[in-house]
Amino acid sequence: MTAPTAASGVSRDARTEGRGTSEPVIAVRLERLEKRFGEVVAVAGIDLDVMDGEFFSMLGPSGSGKTTTLRMIGGFELPTAGRILLHGEDVGRRPPFERDVNTVFQDYALFPHMTVADNVAYGLMVRRIPKRDREERVVEALRMVRLEGYEDRRPSQLSGGQRQRVALARALINRPRVLLLDEPLGALDLKLREEMQIELKAIQKEVGITFIYVTHDQQEALTMSDRLAVFNGGRIEQVGAPAEVYERPATRFVAGFVGTSNLLTGEAAQAILGKPGTHSVRPEKINLSEPDAMVGEDEVSAVGRIREVVYLGPDTRYIVSLDAGGELVVTQQNLEVSSTEALATTGKAVRLIWKRQHDLAIEGGEAGGGQSNS
**Do 240 and 329 fall within a single domain?**
no
| pLDDT on residue 22 | 67
Does some domain include residue 79? yes
**Do 245 and 272 fall within a single domain?**
no
**Do 223 and 300 fall within a single domain?**
no
For the chain, which residues score pLDDT lower than 50? Answer: 1-21, 365-374
Range of the domain at 102: 13-250
> What CATH number is given to the structural domain containing 315?
2.40.50.100
Closest-CA residue to 301 (of 274, 263, 266): 274
Model confidence over 273-320: pLDDT tens digits? 888 888 889 999 999 999 999 999 999 999 999 999 999 888 999 999
**Do 239 and 96 fall within a single domain?**
yes
Does some domain include residue 29? yes
Using a pLDDT cut of 70, give the percent of the chain over it. Answer: 91
**Do 133 and 172 fall within a single domain?**
yes
| pLDDT on residue 60 | 96
Does some domain include residue 1? no
> What CATH number is given to the structural domain containing 160?
3.40.50.300
Domain boundary among 218, 250, 282: 250
Does some domain include residue 8? no
Does some domain include residue 275? yes
pTM here? Answer: 0.83
Does some domain include residue 7? no
> 3-state SS of the chain?
CCCCCCCCCCCCHHHHCCCCCCCCCEEEEEEEEEEEECCEEEEEEEEEEEECCCEEEEECCCCCCHHHHHHHHHCCCCCCEEEEEECCEECCCCCHHHCCEEEECCCCCCCCCCCHHHHHHHHHHHCCCCHHHHHHHHHHHHHHCCCCCCCCCCHHHCCHHHHHHHHHHHHHCCCCCEEEEECCCCCCCHHHHHHHHHHHHHHHHHHCCEEEEEECCHHHHHHHCCEEEEEECCEEEEEECHHHHHHCCCEHHHHHHCCCEEEECHHHHHHHHCCCCEEEECHHHCEEECCCCCCCCCEEEEEEEEEEEEECCCEEEEEEEECCCEEEEEEEECCCCCHHHHHCCCCCEEEEEEEHHHCEEEECCCCCCEEEEC
**Do 157 and 284 fall within a single domain?**
no
Domain boundary among 230, 250, 270: 250
Distance from the Cα of residue 364 to its chain's centroid: 21
Tally of domains in the chain: 2
**Do 319 and 228 fall within a single domain?**
no
**Do 307 and 246 fall within a single domain?**
no
| pLDDT on residue 52 | 96
**Do 124 and 271 fall within a single domain?**
no
